[in-house]
Amino acid sequence: MNVMGHGRKAASLAAAAILAIGGVAGCAKEDTGGTTESGVKLVKTGALTTCTHLPYAPFQSKDQSGKVVGFDVALIDLVATKLGVTQEIVDTPFEGIKSGSDLNAGKCDVAAAGMTITDERKKVLDFSDPYFDATQALAVLTGKEVKTLEELVGKRLGVQGGTTGEEYINTQVKEKNLKIEVVSYKDLAALQQALATNQVVAAVNDLPVWNEYIKANPGKVVVATGFDTGEQYGFAVKKGNAELLKNVNEALAASRTDGTYDKIYATWIGEKPAA
C-alpha cells in the first residue's frame, strides 16, 4: 500500500515536472510576432501570413503537391520578397476574411482571396490599390441555355455564401421580385459540384473562376451570360496598418512597371483583355 502510494506520488510529481517543462518550453516557443528590417510589424517572425479561402482557382488553390498557388499567391510573394520574408498561407472561411475579424485577431497580416473591394468591406478593412477587374457570370451545364435571370423563375440557382455574387443575385431577385430559389454554398468547390450534379440549374460566381473551371473540365459547363458588376479586387490589411499597406501597394506598382504583373497575369489568367 505504502509503496504504491509512494509510487503514485512520485509518478504525479514527475508528471507535474514534465508539465512544467512543457509549459516553459511552450512559452519560449510562442511567436509574438516579428518586425522586418524595414520596420514592418508581422504576426509571425520571418513570415508574411496570408489569410485566404480555398479553393478559388486561378487566384488560390492547391496544386498536385498540396502547395497553394495562384495569381494572388504570386502577387503576395512579391510583397513578401520586398519585406525579406516568406509567405505563409492560412486557409479560413471567407466570412472571417471579409469581416476583418481574422486580421483583427492577428491570424494573418494580409488577406488575399479574390476579394472585391466594396464600401461595406472598406469600413472594416483597409484595401490595397485594385489589382484585378472582375464581373459576375452565370454558368450552366453544356447544352443548356439561360440568357436572363427571369428564365430561372421556379428553378434553383446556386451562389457562394458571403460573396458579391450572392449579394448581386439577392438584390436582383428582390428588386425584380423573381421567384427563384437561391441556394447558397459554403465555397466554390461545393457550388461547382452542385452545378455539375444538377442540384442547381445555374450557378453564379466571378467570371475568371468559371473560365478556369472550364479550362480544367473541358466540355462540362459554359458561361451562359454575364453581369457587368464592374468589380475590382483588392488585398486587405487590418484597419490602420498603413506600413504594411504601403509595402503591398509599392510591390504592386513595381510589378506593373517591371512587367512582372503581366507575366503573372499570363501564367494564371491568360491573355489580357484589351484595355
Q: Rule CB under 6 A: which residues touch ligand GLN?
A: 53, 56, 94, 113-116, 160, 163-164, 206
Whether the CB-CB separation of 129 and 244 falls below 8 Å is answered with: no
Distance CA 267, CA 261 (A): 10
Pick from 96, 125, 131: nearest CA to 234: 131
Distance CA 268, CA 248 (A): 20
Q: Is 227 helix (H, G, I), strand (E, B) or coil?
A: strand
Instruction: Tell me how far, at minimum, the Cβ of 44 lies from ligand GLN, in Å.
Output: 23
For residue 10, which phi and psi values (nearest 5 degrees)?
A: -60, -40
- In the chain, the amino acid numbered 190 is A
Q: Is 189 helix (H, G, I), strand (E, B) or coil?
A: helix
Instruction: Tell me how far, at minimum, the Cβ of 268 lies from ligand GLN, in Å.
Output: 15
Q: Is 151 helix (H, G, I), strand (E, B) or coil?
A: helix
Of 53 and 238, the one with the shorter C-beta distance to ligand GLN is 53
- In the chain, the amino acid numbered 53 is H
Whether the CB-CB separation of 121 and 234 falls below 8 Å is answered with: no
Rg (CA), the chain: 24
Of 34 and 168, the one with the shorter C-beta distance to ligand GLN is 168
Instruction: Tell me how far, at minimum, the Cβ of 153 lies from ligand GLN, in Å.
Output: 25
Distance CA 75, CA 251 (A): 8
Of 109 and 187, the one with the shorter C-beta distance to ligand GLN is 187
Of 192 and 247, the one with the shorter C-beta distance to ligand GLN is 192
Residue 52, C-beta contacts closer than 8 angstroms, at least 6 positions apart: 60, 68, 72, 89, 90, 91, 92, 97, 111, 112, 113
Of 82 and 227, the one with the shorter C-beta distance to ligand GLN is 227
Instruction: Tell me how far, at minimum, the Cβ of 271 lies from ligand GLN, in Å.
Output: 21
Instruction: Tell me how far, at minimum, the Cβ of 226 lies from ligand GLN, in Å.
Output: 14
Instruction: Tell me how far, at minimum, the Cβ of 167 lies from ligand GLN, in Å.
Output: 8
Of 71 and 261, the one with the shorter C-beta distance to ligand GLN is 71
Of 92 and 116, the one with the shorter C-beta distance to ligand GLN is 116
Distance CA 1, CA 115 (A): 67
Instruction: Tell me how far, at minimum, the Cβ of 266 lies from ligand GLN, in Å.
Output: 21
